[in-house]
Amino acid sequence: MNEDNISFCNLHTIKSLLNKDDIIIITDENIVKFYPDFFSDIIEKCIIISDKSFESFQKTITELVKRQAYKNTILYGIGGGEVTDFTGFIASIYMRGIQFNFVPTTLLAMVDAAIGGKNAINFAGIKNILGLINDAKNIYISTSFLDTLPQKEMKNGFVEIIKIALLKDKKLLLKTFEYIKSNLNNKELLKEIIRDSISLKMQIVNEDKFDKGKRNILNFGHTIGHALETTYNITHGEAVLCGMYYESKIAEKIGLIDNRTFGEIDYYLRVFSEDFEKYEIKNCIEKIYFDKKNISGFINFPYVNSVGLGDLQKIDTVKFIDAISDII
């Protein structure tokens, strides 16, 4: 995928695309509830899911067969990351693959989940254990969907923007920081921040689509973050925020960065929280051992070398766990 396949448009333009023949929409109850007028005359095209479980997968495949979806059918995933993940997975395996497009409706989905081709469902209580990499044909973004988004969901998206900016672009970091601090309601500036964040992620993904090397840098904050998310049932944004803090402390502890760099990272992260240590990381150590990023006893550890410049370092998992013990 390239940026030419990502369009910023209004709801009217998106609606006109959905009124065409051979379209099936996958969405969730919340989106339909918040936008009844938008869905009023296309609701019969919709398959409404409640999660991305294997049970939802089975029901959706059954419904596609019932509706006689064929190779020329186009699936649209309209929703947050759960919906886009699910739609991409379904479309990629149904009849060995049919076209799919995304209409992300959360900030997190716009800048992260819908970008980069990762699609997955959950199975046996394990998150994203069944998945594949395949790009949506087109992604249509309307910031109007953000008007009804709860603040905690906006925070989830901004955490991912801060993450990519810490790794790749200090100018974007400063722009985002000022937007958040000043409580601006400037849609054009927000659109610019979203576009810049997408562009940075695409640069990384296009160099390493199948996540074999450089793309691992996007896991910054996620090794510890995913463990916190599942242990304490907190939002993805809150978990990754804490993960970035702890992983930066580890980078300092093992000598990858100095205290000044850690202090600068800490300063930008605290726009969201003053209490990163309210979740006891010692309760997550077992999950960190079994994280999918732990390969043959090593973690390809992403960290911020200096603000705007990320790096990767292969670290022994035992050394990583020992460093956690030293900082708690």
Predicted pLDDT at 24: 98
- pLDDT tens by residue, 210-269: 998 999 999 999 999 988 998 999 999 999 999 999 999 999 999 999 999 999 999 999
pLDDT of residue 268: 94
Residue 126's pLDDT is 77
Q: Which CATH number fits domain 3-148: 3.40.50.300, 3.10.290.10, 3.40.50.150, 3.40.50.1970?
A: 3.40.50.1970
Grade residue 296 by pLDDT with cuts at 50, 70 and 90: confident
Domain 151-327 grouped into CATH 1.20.1090.10: yes
Type of residue at 323: A
Model confidence at 292, in pLDDT bands (50, 70, 90)?
low
| pLDDT reading at 184 higher than 80 | no
Question: Considering Cα of 30, then 31, then 36, then 42, what sign does the dihedral take?
Answer: negative
The least confident of 1-5, 39-43, 96-100 is 1-5
- Among 19-28, 66-75, 273-282, which stretch is predicted with the lowest mean pLDDT? 273-282
Q: Quick one: three-class SS letters along 34-70?
A: HCHHHHCCCHHHEEEECCCCHHHHHHHHHHHHHCCCC
Paired tokens of 207: 């160099």
3-state helix, strand, coil in the chain (%, to 5): 55, 20, 25
Angle at 111 between CA 107 and CA 117, to 5 degrees: 125
Q: Where are the domains of the chain?
A: 3-148, 151-327
What is the rounded average pLDDT for all residues in the chain?
Answer: 93
Give the whole-angstrom CA distance, residue 139 versus residue 24. 16
Provide the sign of the torsion angle of the four alpha carbons 95, 19, 7, 29, taken in this order.
negative
Alpha-carbon distance of 311 to 153, in angstroms, equals 28
Region for 116 from its dihedrals, namely left if φ exceeds 0, alpha if ψ lies in -120 to 50, beta otherwise: left
3-state secondary structure of 76: strand
Element (H, E) at 305: strand 298-306
**Nearest alpha carbon to residue 89 among 52, 40, 62:** 52
Q: How confident is the model at residue 294 (pLDDT cuts 50, 70, 90)?
A: low
Q: Which helix (H) or strand (E) holds 224?
A: helix 222-232
For residue 324, the model assigns a pLDDT of 87
Q: Among candidates 219, 224, 225, which has minimal Cα distance to 237? A: 225
Residues near 218 by Cβ (< 8 Å), separated by ≥ 6?
Answer: 163, 164, 167, 201, 204, 302
CB count in 10 Å sphere of residue 12: 10
